[in-house]
Amino acid sequence: MDLSGQAGYWELLNTSESGEVFSQRARSASDAAVLRRKGHLKEQDRLIDFMRRMHETHTCEEVMLKMERWIAEHRQDPRRSRLRRLIPGIGAFFTPLKLVEAFREYDAFFALSRRKYIPPNFAELRHVVNIAQVHASADTLKLITFDADGTLYADGAHMEQDNQMIAHIINLMRSNVQVAIVTAAGYPGEPDKFEKRVQGLLEAFRKLKLPAEVTNRFHIMGGECNYLLRVRPTDKRLEFVPDAEWKTATMKSWREEDIVALLDEGEAMLQEGAKRLNLAVNIIRKNRAVGIVPTQPTIYEVLEDIALTIQTQLVAKVPFCAFNGGNDVFVDVGNKLLGLEALMKYLQVTPPEVLHVGDRFTDSGNDVATRDICSVLWVANPEETGFFIKMLLKDIRKSRWQPYIE
């Protein structure tokens, strides 16, 4: 993407939007604040932390030049790369990342390189990495997945008809990209409860009279990896995909008694952690998950400690994830990595063709596992999601010559 100077970035931030189906959104200078609002982001990441420390001895562009070169080297030989030695535990990179170009694009607008004393902060480096990932994924993207709460809409909310992401999701689907929501929410045998979470999107499908060819490209993976739903072509309602059609051999091998034992032990540890930290909670038990919700004000670090304690101490015969949801702590059967693995096999796509967008990539977040199977975008709030998906759509249009319809 050729964006030279501030004018190009303003053009990106203020893409013309119009249409009768979706309400028009304000186009003003306030749009530029999207990348400045970090929300309730918890900033933990080995790669970005290392890049921040590099600024003590390097200029911004020198950091990006070295990291771009080291990532390319790591992609060729992950076990013996310089990056592996510098950042133990660094994962895979499924696409090259042109960090220098991404930095120059970002710098032309935010002037990071012209600061005299203050280096880029965590969020600014995250934005640069995101921009590089968007540009890298656009040409080959076949599946994009989204976390729900905090990514597509605010925590505890739903996708209403005025959600800016509705138009973006539909345009992705019209561009022949599969779209899926991968969420911890799980409602076995109750597709109507999943529908309530995305009611505005399904209503748009009906209002636009989208053909089955398009709506077949939308799925929801619920309960991390336990339920897969698709859109019925006749009435644009959700229905469960039969387990036999999509579950992996690993998932099919899980025994019910082992799942119950996991949830029993998880519940006991959640209660013990809450008691240890003097936290009054309500217990929520589901078929494939158990969690606690505080009944009194608390702080993030309390929930973080409970989640990390369970991650390190719980031993089970089936895979699980214990995560801090920001307002609760849950132990779920399986994780999003397994959900994405099954979805990718079902849709017949490969890791370099997949991009996951989420807001919880810290050690206690339930998006972090997806890094082992595909490229990711780390966002802080739904507004950031909209910004980067708008950028992605512009790249896709440029590479595939498709008009943006809203």
Rounded Cα distance, 247 and 338, in Å: 10
Residues 288 and 353 both lie in one domain: no
Residues 295, 192 share a domain: no
Last residue of a domain, one of 138, 162, 177: 138
Residue 338: is its pLDDT beyond 50?
yes
- What tens digit of pLDDT does each residue of 74-123 get? 999 999 999 999 999 898 999 999 999 999 999 999 999 999 999 999 99
Say whether both 236 and 341 belong to one domain. yes
pLDDT at position 31 over 70 = no
pLDDT in tens, 252-288: 999 999 999 999 999 999 999 999 999 999 999 999 9
**Which residues have CB under 8 Å from 354's CB, separation 6+?**
94, 141, 142, 143, 144, 145, 340, 344, 373, 374, 375
Same domain, 179 and 67: no
Per the structure, the count of domains in the chain is 3
Q: Is residue 225 part of a domain?
A: yes
- The reply to whether 147 belongs to the active site is yes
CA distances from 98 to 13, 77, 114, 326 (A): 21, 18, 21, 33
Q: Is 32 part of a structural domain of the chain?
A: no
**Is 149 one of the annotated active-site residues of the chain?**
yes
Domain end residue (candidates: 106, 138, 170): 138
Give, for 146, the enclosing helix (H) or strand (E).
Answer: strand 143-146
Query: What SS3 class is residue 229?
Result: strand
What's the pLDDT score for residue 103? 97
Report if residue 23 sits inside a domain. Answer: no
Q: Is residue 12 part of a domain?
A: no
pLDDT attached to residue 35: 59
Q: Are residues 294 and 374 located together in one domain of the fold?
A: no
Over residues 134-163, the pLDDT tens digits come to: 999 999 999 999 999 889 998 878 898 888
Q: What residue numbers bound the domain in which 268 lies?
A: 253-333
Same domain for 319 and 358, yes or no, is: no
- Based on the domain organization, do 290 and 327 belong to the same domain? yes
pLDDT of residue 202: 97
- pLDDT at position 362 is 82
Can you give the pLDDT at residue 27? Answer: 39
* pLDDT score recorded for residue 300: 85
pLDDT level of residue 363 (50, 70, 90 thresholds): confident
Contact 184, 325 (CB under 8 A): yes
Q: Are residues 105 and 54 in the same domain?
A: yes
Same domain? For 328 and 343 the reply is no
Same domain flag for 322 and 299? yes
| 9 domain residue, yes or no | no
Q: Are residues 231 and 89 in the same domain?
A: no
Choosing from 31, 107, 147, 328, which is the catalytic residue?
147
Catalytic one of 107, 149, 328, 332 = 149
Q: Is the dihedral of CA 145, 290, 332, 259 positive or negative?
A: negative
Q: Tell me, what CATH number does 289's domain have?
A: 3.90.1070.10
Torsion sign, CA atoms 331, 333, 335, 336: negative
Q: Identify whether residues 237 and 266 lie together within a single domain.
A: no
pLDDT value of residue 154 = 87
Alpha carbons 270 and 261: distance in angstroms, whole number: 14
Residue 13: CB atoms within 10 Å:
18
Is 213 exposed, middle or buried, given 0-12, 13-18 or 19+ CB atoms closer than 10 A?
Answer: exposed
Give the pLDDT confidence score for residue 53 in this predicted structure: 95
Is residue 381 scored above 60 in pLDDT? yes
Average pLDDT score over residue span 41-65 = 90
Domain edge (last residue) among 80, 113, 138: 138
Q: What is the mean pLDDT of residues 310-326?
A: 94
SS3 of residue 185 by DSSP: coil
Residue 289 has pLDDT above 70, yes or no: yes
CA 159 vs. chain centroid, Å, equals 16
In 111-146, which ranges are continuous DSSP H helix?
Answer: 122-137
